[in-house]
Amino acid sequence: MYKVLKAQQATIVAMQAKLQPVEQEREQRVRTEPEERPMAVRDAIEATPELAYIQATDHKLFAAAQRFDAVLREDRDWAGKPAG
């Protein structure tokens, strides 16, 4: 029984060692994705002068554009299509 438990512990340690780099990569991705996403959205807005103008001058219209964007992203025919 002792040998079985010792072997099981060794297996757990080996699996943890293999899992650690994967977990570190996931944590790094989770930390950087929120930073990258707003920047990509900001870049897309700035690349479209009409959107940048609406965002700066008419908050209600910009909110409506955001809602419409969300509707299109959920639509099967439009989902995944590049903006612009």
Q: In this structure, are 30 and 55 located in the same domain?
A: no
Model pLDDT for residues 7-27, shown as the tens digit of each residue = 999 999 998 888 888 888 888
In a domain, 42, yes or no: no
How many folded domains does the chain comprise?
2
In a domain, 43, yes or no: no
With beta carbons less than 8 A apart as the criterion, state whether 36 and 76 touch: no
Q: In this structure, are 53 and 82 located in the same domain?
A: yes
Distance (Å, whole) CA 62 – CA 56? 9
Tokens coding 22: 């994967």
Q: In this structure, are 31 and 61 located in the same domain?
A: no
In a domain, 40, yes or no: no
In a domain, 82, yes or no: yes
Model pLDDT for residues 19-65, shown as the tens digit of each residue = 888 888 888 877 776 666 677 778 888 888 898 899 999 999 999 99
Q: In this structure, are 80 and 52 located in the same domain?
A: yes
Distance (Å, whole) CA 74 – CA 84? 17
Give residue 5's domain range: 1-35
